[in-house]
A and B are shown apart, each in its own frame.
Chain A
Amino acid sequence: MEIIKRKEQKEVHPYIPELKELYRAGRITRREFLRTATLLGMSFASASLFLASCKPTPTAAPTEAPTEAPTQAPAQPTVAPTAVPEGMPKRGGTMTIATRVPRIDHPARLSWIEGANQFRQVCEYLTFTDYDNITHPWLLERWEANEDVTEWTLYIRKGIKFNDGQELTADDVIFNFQQWLDPDIGSSMLGLLSYLSPENIEKVDDYTVKLYLNSPQIGVPEHLFHYPAMIVPKTFEGDIVRQPVGTGPFLLEEYVETERAVFRRREDYWKMGADGKPLPYIDKLVYLDLGEEEAARIAALQSGQVDNIFNPSAEIWQAVKDLPDIMVYSTPTAQTFVIRMRVDMEPWNDNRVRQALKKCIDRQKMLDLAWFGEGVLAHDTHVAPVHPAYCPKDIPPYDPEGARQLLAEAGYPDGLTVELATQEARAEPAMAQALKESAAAGGFNIELNIMPSAQYWDVWTEVPLGITIWAHRPLGTMVLALAYTADDEGNPVPWNETRWVDEEFSQLLKEAERTLDVEKRREIMCQLEDIQMERGSVGIAFWTSVWYIAHKRIKNVRAHPTNYDILFDAWIDDEA
C-alpha cells in the first residue's frame, strides 16, 4: 500500500497539492482534477477557482476523452439546454410524467429507478452527483477523508427539518447506515458499501458522523448518492408509502400502485430558490402509469396530456424528436446492452467461440438499428468513455471470416446453432435480430427466444446466451465489481450472469479501487480492459446516449445518465 507523503498544508487533503501539480503538468484532464479534488473534500467553488487561475501546459497529456463536453452528443446536434434560466423562474403549475408506478415499501430495498425517482422528491441524499459526474455535499455541509481515505468524517448541515417537523441529526444518518448494512433488509447498498461494517460508524456529535472503512475507498461520497440511499428519519418503520417522511421539496399526496403517484409542493423546504423564496417552483407532480405500451405514452405526450416520458426507448425518441413543442436533452452514458455468454456452459466455455461471436458483432450497424446511431461504439469491455478512469482502445472491426475460422478451430467447421434469449422491450429485439443477421455470415445460426420482460428477469442469470441491459453507473469499477468478480469463497457474486471469474482480473480490480493516483489507476484500467477484451465473457457493441424528453413548458431540466428526475429547481413557463 503506497503511502502518500503527508504535506503540511491548509489543504483539506494532503494529496490535493500533488493533484494540482499533475493538472498543471497537463497529465490529468480538467474533469479528473475536479472530480478527485471534490471527492477528497475540496469545495467545488475553490476547485473551480483554481482551474480558472491557471492553464494546463499541453505536455504528454492523455488524449482528451472524446466525450469531454458532457452534454454534446456527437451524432445528433440536439438543442443545447438552457444552462441559465432566461429571466426569473415562474412559480406554480403541474408537471405530469408517464412512468411505471411500481410497488414500494422500504427505499433501501429499491431495485427500480422509477420508484426512486418518485420518492427522491420526498426524501433526499447526503450528497448529490450532478450531470457532470461531480459530487457535491447536499444534506452534508462538507466531508473530510484521512490521508489513505480509510476514515471519512461527515458534517451534517444544521437546521434541516423532516416534513413531520423532526430535525435531521446524526442519529438519523446512523439509523440509515444501519438499515443499508442490515442483510435482512436486502438493500443493494450492502454490496456497494462492502468496505464498511455497521459497528465502525461513530457518532462524534449531533451533527457529525465518522466512518472507519475496512479498506480504502475514494468513491464514498458518490456511493452515498446511489438511488436506494435515501435518508429517512430514525422513526421510520419500513413502509415509505405509509410514512412518507423526508427532507425533500415535495409531500406525498396519493400513491396508487400501477396507476398514479401525486406529490404536492412543501412550503418549508430548507433550500432557497433564485427568487429568495423556498424551492420548489412547481406546485404539483403527477406520475401516471400508462402500462407497457409505448404507443399510448407517445400519444399522451404528443397530445399534451403528459409533459415527460421516463427513460424513453430509442423508438420513442425516434417518434417524438421532431414534434414541434417537445424538447429533447441527450447525454452520453455507460448504459449498454451486454451480449453475455455463460462461460460455465457449452459451447461458450471455449474462448475461441466467444471470440468468434465477438467478431460477428457489426457494431455501427447494430447501433444504427437498435439505437438510431445515438451513442458511441464500444470494445467488449464494461468500462465506458464517460467513466473517469476510461482507457481508450480501438474498436474491433466486424470480421465474419475471422469468426468462421475461429469456429472451425474450435471444432465447429460448418457453423454452430445457438439460442439467444432476451426481453421484449426497449432495443433488445432489434439488437437480437441485427446480431442474428450479422452472425449468420460468421457461421452462427442464432435462434431467437424473445419473451415478455417479466419472464426474462426470472431467467436472466440462467440462459446460456442472452442480451441484458446494464444501467449507467458513475464509476467503471462499480460494474466490474458487481458483474465480473467472485465472493470470498470464490463462487461468482449474484449478478455475475456469465459466471466469468479471472484471478488476475480480480486482483487488478482490487488494486484499482485502492489506488488514489489517477494516472496509476488509468494504467490498471487499461490492463483490466485488455483482459476483458481478450478473454472476457461479454460482447459490448455500443454505449447508448440517454434522453430526457419533455414539453418545452418545463424549464431547467437536463438528461441525467441514470435517468434521475432532478426537479427541485425545475419550473414551468406556459407562455413560452
Chain B
Amino acid sequence: MARYILRRLGFMLLTMFLVSIAVFLISEVAPGDVARHILGQFATPEQVELLRDQMGLDEPLYVRYFDWLIGNDWRLRRLVGMPLKQVLIPGRADAEWYAIAPDGTMLQWKMKQEGLVEIRVTPDGERTEVLFDGWLVDENGEEYFWGVDTAGHVVLWKKGEAGREVGPASAGRAMIEASGVEYYPIRRGLLRGDPGISFRTNRPVGPTLARRLRNSLSLAGIAFVVIMPIALVLGVLAGLREGSPLDRTISLFSLITTSVPEFASGVFLILVFAFWLKVLPGAAVFPDDTAPLQNPKLLILPVLTLTLVEVGYVARMTRASMAEVMNAPYIRTAFLKGLPYWRIVFKHALRNALIAPITVIMLHVNWLVGGIVVVESVFGYPGLGMYLLDSALFKDINAIEAGAMVMVALAVGSQLVADIIYTFLNPRIRYT
C-alpha cells in the first residue's frame, strides 16, 4: 500500500511539473503583454520596455522558468558578492531583500537626489542611511556597483559622465530614476516556498492566493458537506425503491436540477431571494477577510447554486449503483439468511453501493474548487477560479502558475484520496 501511495505522489509531482511547463509555454504564446497591462493603455513604448526589463521578462524563457521554479538568489549572490536574505515586513503581506554584510548588518541601496544612498539595518533593527562611496572601476575606467535596491532587484549602477549617478533610484516599488543599466528581480523559487510577485497586485502571490484558496475551499467545503449527504441519501432511497413513485420523483428532480446550467440557476436565485424577497444578499461582498465567517448569509446562495447542479448528478449515480447492488447475489444470500430488511440495506448493501459514488465524488472536489468560476463570477465571490481567470487575462504568469499548481495538487490529491478510500471500502482491491 505504501509503495502505491509513493508511486502516486511521485506521479503527482510529475504532473505538476508537466503542467507548469505547459502553462509557461502556452502563456508565452498567447497574445497580450503584462507590462502594458500594468502601465495602462497610455504608457509610452519606452516605459513598457523598461518595465519589462525590470520585471526580468526580457530574459530567455528557460531562464525565467528556472528562476520561477528554483529561484535565482543563489546565482545573483555572486554578482553582489554578499549573501542575499528575504525579510518579511511585519504587519504587511510583503517582504524585502537585503544583502548581508559579514558583520550581520543588512544593506540596501537606493538612488536619491544627492546620489546613491546605502541603507544599513543593524541586527538590533537600528536603521541608518549614508552616502555610498564604494564604487568599483571596470576595465574601461567606468565606476560601477552591483547592489540590492528596495524593490527586490539586484541592480547594476553606473556613474555616468555627468558625475551624477545614473541608475534606478527605485525607492519602494517605484522606479523614480529608471535609467538603471541591468535589473534582476530576486526570487527564491516555488520549490523553496516563494511563488514570486504577482504583477497584478505587485505583492507576493502567496498571501493573496492563500486567501482566495481559503474562500474557495470554504465555499466548496460547505457545498461538499451539504451536497454529498443529501445526494447520497436521495440516491440510496431511489435505488432501494426502484420503480416506485418515490424513485420516479427523485430521479425527475435530480434530472431537472442537473440540466439547468449553474449560471442560469445562480442568476434566478439572486432574482428571487435577493431582489424580490430581499432575504439574502445578492452578491458575496467581503468588506474584510473574516467576512465568510462573520456573515454566513453571504454563502447561502452560492452554495445553493452549487448544490442544485451537483445533487442531481451524484444522486443519479448513487441510485444506479444502489439498484445494481440490491440485485447482487450476496444480497440474495442475506435475504435467504432471513435478515431484517434495514440490516441488509445498511450492513450489506450500503457499503458496496457507496464504493462507486464516493470515488466519483472525490473527483468532484477538483471541479468544485477550480471549476466553479462561473458561480464565483455570478456572485462576485473572490474565489480561486476567478483569481485564475483574472490572472490569465492579465497574463500575470506567477499568479497563473501558483494557481495552476494548487489546482493540480488538489485534483491529483483528490484522485489519490479517492483511490485510497476505494481500497478501504473494497477489500478485494489491494494495491501493490
A413 on interface, CB distance cutoff 8 Å = no
Residue from A103, A188, A455 within 8 A of B38 (CB atoms): A103
Q: Which listed residue (B177, B178, B278, B380) contacts A291, Cβ 8 A?
A: B380
Using Cβ atoms and an 8 Å threshold, which residues of chain A touch B173?
Answer: 105, 238-239, 241-242
Contact B171 A299 (CB under 8 A): no
In the complex, chain A residues whose CB is within 8 Å of the CB of B394: 454
Q: Which residue of A lies closest to B263 (CB)?
A: A295
| Residue on A nearest B42 in the bound complex, by CB | A111
Find out whether the CB atom of B380 lies under 8 angstroms from the CB atom of A290: yes
Closest CB-CB distance, A299 to chain B, in whole Å? 3
Kindly report which residue of chain A lies nearest to residue B379, judged by CB atoms. Answer: A296
Smallest distance from the beta carbon of B129 to chain A beta carbons, Å?
A: 11
* Chain A residues in 8 Å Cβ range of B88: none
Could you say which residues of chain B place their CB within 8 Å of the CB of A454? 32, 37, 393-395
A48 within 8 A of partner (CB): no
How many Å lie between the Cα of A513 and that of B197 in the bound state?
Answer: 45
Tell me if A9 is interfacial: C-beta within 8 Å of chain B. no
Residues of A near B275 (CB, < 8 A) are: 299, 302
> Are B200 and A103 in contact (CB-based, < 8 A)?
yes
Please name the residue on chain B nearest to A94 by beta carbon.
B287
- Asked if A119 CB lies within 8 Å of chain B CBs, one says no
Bound Cα distance from A179 to B203, whole angstroms = 24
Stretch at the interface among B43-51, B70-78, B181-189, B239-247: B43-51
Interface window among A58-66, A257-265, A373-381: A257-265
A82 within 8 A of B: no
Q: Report yes or no: A302 in contact with B40, Cβ–Cβ below 8 A.
A: no
> B85 at interface (Cβ–Cβ under 8 A)?
no
Q: Which single residue of chain A is at the shortest CB-CB distance from B179?
A: A184
By a CB distance below 8 angstroms, the chain A residues around B287 are: 96, 260, 286, 288
> Is B270 positioned at the interface, with any CB of A under 8 Å from its CB?
yes
Which residues from chain B contact A298 at a C-beta distance below 8 Å? 282
A105–B172 touching, CB < 8 Å:
yes
Please name all residues of chain A whose beta carbon is closer than 8 Å to the beta carbon of B178 when the two chains form the complex. 184-186
- Chain B residues within 8 Å of A239, by CB: 171-174
In contact, B44 and A186 (Cβ under 8 angstroms): yes
The interface residues of chain A lying within 8 Å CB-to-CB of B33 are: 458
Contact A259 B382 (CB under 8 A): yes
Chain B minimum-CB-distance residue to A452: B393
Given that A258-B208, A288-B287 are contacting pairs, would A237 and B175 also be in contact in the complex, using a CB cutoff of 8 Å?
Answer: no
Are the C-beta atoms of B380 and A300 separated by less than 8 Å? yes
In the complex, chain B residues 156-176 whose Cβ is within 8 Å of any chain A Cβ: 169-176
- What 1/0 flags go to B40-80 for Cβ under 8 Å of A? 11111111000000000000000000000000000000000
B348 lies within 8 A of chain A by Cβ: no
What interface size band does chain B fall in? 35 or more
- Taking CB atoms, residues of chain B closer than 8 Å to A296 are 283-284, 377-380
Give A106 to B40 CA distance when docked, in angstroms: 13
Contact assessment for B281 and A303 in the assembled complex, using a CB-CB cutoff below 8 Å: yes
Instruction: Report yes or no: A237 in contact with B40, Cβ–Cβ below 8 A.
Output: no
Interface size class of A (residues with CB under 8 A): 35 or more
* Assembled-state Cα–Cα distance A103/B51 (Å): 14
Cβ B201 vs Cβ A303 within 8 A? no
Contacts of A33 in B (CB 8 A): none
A182 — which chain B residues lie within 8 A by C-beta? 176-177
Question: Would you call A112 an interface residue if the criterion is a C-beta within 8 Å of the partner chain's C-beta atoms?
Answer: yes
CA distance A296 to B171 in the complex (A): 38
Query: Is B190 located at the chain interface by the 8 A CB criterion?
Result: no
Please give the distance in Å from B216's CB to the nearest CB on chain A: 14
A457 within 8 A of B: yes
Determine if A306 is an interface residue (Cβ-Cβ < 8 Å): yes
A495 at the interface (CB under 8 A from B): yes
- Taking a contact as CB atoms under 8 Å apart, the answer to whether A258 and B390 are in contact is yes
Q: Once the chains are docked, how many angstroms separate the CA of A112 from the CA of B41? A: 9
Cβ of A297 < 8 Å from any Cβ of B?
A: yes
CB atoms of B283 and A237 under 8 A apart: no
Q: Counting CB contacts under 8 A, is B103 at the interface? A: no
> When the two chains form their complex, are residues A299 and B202 in contact, meaning their CB atoms are under 8 A apart?
no
* CB interface residues, B 17-40, toward A, < 8 Å: 31-33, 36-40
With A and B bound together, what is the CA distance between A507 and B200 in angstroms? Answer: 42
Q: Are A186 and B380 neighbours in the complex by a CB distance under 8 Å?
A: no
| A184 close to B175 (CB less than 8 A) | yes
Interface string of B321-341 (1 = CB under 8 A from A): 000000000000000000000
Distance in Å from the Cβ of B209 to the closest Cβ of chain A? 12
Shortest distance between the CB of A487 and any CB in chain B (Å): 11
For A303, the chain B residues whose CB sits under 8 A away are 274, 278, 280-283
Taking each of A111, A305, A455, which has the highest tally of chain B beta carbons within 10 Å of its own beta carbon?
A: A305
Does B110 touch A at the CB level, under 8 Å? Answer: yes
Kindly report which residue of chain B lies nearest to residue A299, judged by CB atoms.
Answer: B282
Q: Known contacts being A186-B39, A302-B274, is A238 close to B380, with CB within 8 Å?
A: no
CB–CB B380/A297 < 8 A: yes
C-alpha spacing A96/B200, complex, angstroms:
23
Task: Convert A212-248 into 0s and 1s, putting 1 for each residue whose CB lies closer than 8 angstroms to a CB of B.
Answer: 0000000000000000000000000111011100000
Interface pair B281/A305, CB less than 8 Å apart: yes
- B390-A185 in contact (CB<8A): no
Q: Does B84 contact A (CB under 8 A)?
A: no
A317 in contact (CB, < 8 A): no
Known A239-B173, A454-B393: A494·B45 in contact at CB below 8 Å: yes
| Contact (Cβ within 8 A) B41 A111 | yes
Chain B residue with minimal CB distance to A179? B176
| Contact yes or no, A300 B285, CB < 8 A | yes
Q: Are B202 and A257 interface neighbours, CB within 8 A?
A: yes
Give residues of chain A (447-465) contacting chain B, Cβ–Cβ below 8 Å. 452-455, 457-460
Given pairs A103-B201, A256-B201, A302-B282, 4 additional interface contacts (CB within 8 A):
A103-B199, A103-B202, A454-B395, A457-B40
Please, could you name 9 A-B residue pairs with CB atoms under 8 Å apart, sorted by A? A184-B179, A238-B169, A257-B202, A291-B380, A292-B377, A300-B282, A302-B274, A454-B32, A459-B31
Top 7 nearest A-B pairs (CB, nearest first) are A296-B380, A238-B174, A299-B282, A111-B40, A239-B172, A237-B171, A257-B201
Identify the A interface with B (CB < 8 A). Answer: 96, 98, 103, 105-106, 109, 111-112, 179, 182, 184-186, 188, 237-239, 241-243, 256-260, 286, 288, 290-293, 295-300, 302-303, 305-306, 452-455, 457-460, 494-495
